[in-house]
Chain A
Amino acid sequence: MRTALGGLVDRRLARAAGSQWTRVDGRRFHARHVGPEAAAAPPVVCVHGVGVSSRYMVATMTKLASAFEVYAIDLPGFGLTDGPPEVLDVVGLADALAGWIQAAGVGRPALLANSVGCQVAVDCAVRYPDRVSRLVLVGPTTDPIARSALRQVLRWLRNLPGERPGQLPLSVADYADAGVGRALRTFGYALADRIEDKLPLVQAPTLVVRGARDPIVPQAWAEEVTRLLPRGRLAVVAGAPHTVNFAAPGSLAELVGPFLVEDGPT
């Protein structure tokens, strides 16, 4: 449910990316949309992290929009997409994402995800390989050697000073829309989700992106994610924090653009 603050933020974002509503299994799904429909490569679908929404993806969307058709969805219960009464776990969110991809008729898109969104995207790519052509995992969670709420929160706090202050109003609106309870429950599900077991099963070519100053995703974990992926590759964005898509969208787009049009079977 959109709060007043969310409405204010959305009026500004609407200039950059329009809203689109799709009915999936009787639920209205919200996505932002930008870019040419006749783009050469498959469309890109941005998947947000825990508690937040498509709003913090708009900066990256606009950087990619000259060459790609880009969507950013609100997963059920976040942003403007209504959620079911129960809180969905990673598998439930991945099912919803796969349902939206089919219902929206976006073909076989590339998924660009951030943080916990990477866990959703990976689950979706593993169980619905025919609906995902490529993956871009920006700051993938959850590092198994820090699989506890306390350690994750400590890392999150260490990351905060590196993020751009402009993200604050967006995040406040997002958390207000989703509700802190849903955000916390989703965070708990993400902690329990073992992405490391799924990564070896991902068939899609995958670009892993890490901000060089991201304490939530240490270099060793980003390398481990890449190593576990059969077709993974790692890129590090100098000086960037966890949310590369908001803090360094230009650098991210420079990495993602060439990756999306690379030759090779997908």
Chain B
Amino acid sequence: MVAKFDSATAMLRALAAFLHGRDFPMLGGRAQAEPLAARLLGLVNRLPEGLRERLYIYSGWSEATPAGKLARVRSEALARWVVGHYPRRRYPAVMVGSSNGAMIHLAAALGIPWLPQTLLLPVRQRGVHPDEPADDLAAMVDPARVLLAANPDLALHHMHDANQDRLMIQRMTYFRVKRLRLGRAYERFLADTLVPGGTIFLVECTLSWPTTKVGDRHVFQQGALGGATVQEAHQGSARVAGYLRRYGSHRRRWNPPAPDADRPEAEWGFQPALRTDVERFAADRGYRIRRIIFDQPEELSPLVADLYRDWYRCRGIPADRLLIESFILLEPWLALATGSVPFWLVFNTEPSLTAIHRYLDTAGSFDEIRMSLFSHGVESVGLPAIGQWRTVLQRAGKLGSFLGVDEQAFPRDFATMARYHQALAQVRNRYPMPCPLSLDELDEFLDQQGERYPVDWK
């Protein structure tokens, strides 16, 4: 019932693979199937655009749940599914909270698991035009009510982004559920695996978005973080009008339900109710809590990249390889095995391009830059052309290369899902896997850095 293609799932699986001592082929698929999948998807990349888009829509729909089955969803079952990914052993700390690719690398460095607050439940629908957000909301009010009635631990953020999710939302609706309490499965996992007096890191991305209250624990979000701004999602713009014209829409701007307040963003934002519950649990059991607070998802990326750089230097490894990861194309195991400094980008849009250039402006040069680039199938508002992404690679001292990207096919390069790992796995000059960083080593690094990063540690 949980989407495989979603950020939270991919991050959970990537980190779990790492803690099991494995790399992460094909977003958690079977490693043996990777060569064949890469070839077949390479053939898909040669199909006409329209056909490729139909296949993409179908692949999303095939993972979505019929609305009638939502009544069977139980938050505890979801939590058991999450914790079932991780090896059961003692950890000095566990992370709980927002999804974030840089946080996954931080957790990997510390050798600890992360329990996501948010999961995506894609729900099948048909007959709703992607550019009619209000219709999507109306069609899903009843299924949402049933889901929430059965799950008092969950808040529902119904998200509708006709810009970046244009293909997916033709046959499904994005239900993102946020956990408001730890619940039994998470509590038991923490009790079983945290060392006495261990630390719970609360990962709190404070990103908010104007949303519409639909009912108790139910909000609707028009648009999503990426190429189009909040304002463009609600009021439109020349770019939005041009985009809608290109896609043959009857609309020139969207007409969503009026927002009534800013609330945690559906995919990345932290819903603070969970913090209260974690504080209660930690006080009862004698655990420490540390909050990692940041406004934008990518604000954690420079800190984690520099932490890895510092770690490599301490280990006598040349810290001159940069691995830029796009959205869910993550590889915590191979990042460490290849001695690569990981820098995570939240998506493939203009703000992310700016973020990586800004990091390179301040971080100094890297001899080698490798970059994965997620393809979502849409020439969406705020999507840089492939040539603009190439400018990042051109900043490498010695070599810059895309990881398994079909440059001609972007942003409809569906083969990259299988090829990004294949390409990274072939990089030579490997390093032994280090022992995890201790919390003291992390603190030492943070003390040295002072106020350099827009991240609060409380």
* Chain A residues at the B interface, C-beta cutoff of 8 Å: 218-221, 223-224, 226-227, 229, 232-234, 236, 238
Cβ of B407 and Cβ of A238 under 8 Å apart? yes
Instruction: Please choose the segment from B52-60, B421-429, B448-456 that sits at the chain A interface, where 4 or more of its residues have CB less than 8 A away.
Output: B421-429
A219 engages B368 (CB within 8 Å): no
Q: Is the CB of A219 within 8 A of B398?
A: no
Minimum distance in angstroms from A101 CB to a CB of chain B? 27
Q: A233-B398, A233-B399 are in contact. List 15 more A-B contacts (CB 8 A).
A: A219-B401, A219-B423, A219-B426, A223-B368, A223-B399, A223-B427, A226-B398, A227-B368, A227-B398, A227-B429, A232-B398, A233-B397, A234-B401, A236-B401, A238-B407
Is the pair A224, B426 in contact by a Cβ cutoff of 8 Å? no
Interface size on B, residues (CB 8 A): 13
Cβ of B216 within 8 Å of any chain A Cβ, yes or no, is no
CB neighbours (8 Å) of B407 from chain A are 238
Across the A-B interface, give the 7 residue pairs with the lowest CB-CB distance, nearest first.
A234-B399, A220-B426, A224-B428, A226-B399, A226-B398, A220-B428, A233-B398
| Chain B neighbourhood of A236, CB < 8 A | 401
> Known: A218-B426, A238-B407. Contact between A223 and B401, CB under 8 A?
yes
Q: Is B426's CB under 8 angstroms from A227's CB?
A: no
Task: Provide 24 A-B residue pairs closer than 8 Å at the C-beta atoms, listed in order of the A residue.
Answer: A218-B426, A219-B401, A219-B423, A219-B426, A220-B427, A221-B428, A223-B399, A223-B401, A223-B427, A223-B428, A224-B428, A224-B429, A227-B367, A227-B368, A227-B398, A227-B399, A229-B398, A232-B398, A233-B397, A233-B399, A234-B400, A234-B401, A236-B401, A238-B407
Q: Please give, as numbers and ranges, the residues of chain A lying within 8 Å of B426 by CB-CB distance.
A: 218-220
**Interchain CA distance A219-B401 in the complex, whole Å:** 9
In angstroms, Cα B426 to Cα A227, docked, is 14
State the total of A-B contacts with C-beta under 8 angstroms: 33
- Find the A residue at minimum CB distance from B399: A234
Q: How far is the CA of A234 from the CA of B398 in the complex (A)?
A: 6
Q: Name the B residues within 8 Å of A238 (CB-CB).
A: 407
Question: For the complex, what is the distance from the CA of A166 to the CA of B35, rounded to whole Å?
Answer: 33
- Taking CB as reference atom, which chain B residue is nearest A236? B401
Interface residues of B in 375-429 (CB under 8 A from A): 397-401, 407, 423, 426-429
Contact partners of B397 in chain A: CB under 8 A = 233
Instruction: Tell me how far the C-beta of B324 lies from the nearest C-beta in chain A, rounded to whole angstroms.
Output: 16
Cα separation A152 to B423 with both chains bound (whole Å): 21
Contact with A along B4-23 (1 / 0, CB 8 A): 00000000000000000000
Q: For the complex, give the distance between the alpha carbons of A221 and B426 in Å.
A: 9
Q: CB-CB < 8 A to B427: which residues of A?
A: 220, 223
Contacts of A221 in B (CB 8 A): 428
Chain A minimum-CB-distance residue to B367: A227
Scoring B residues 94 to 115 as 1 if CB is less than 8 Å from chain A, else 0, what string do you get? 0000000000000000000000
CB nearest neighbor in B for A220:
B426
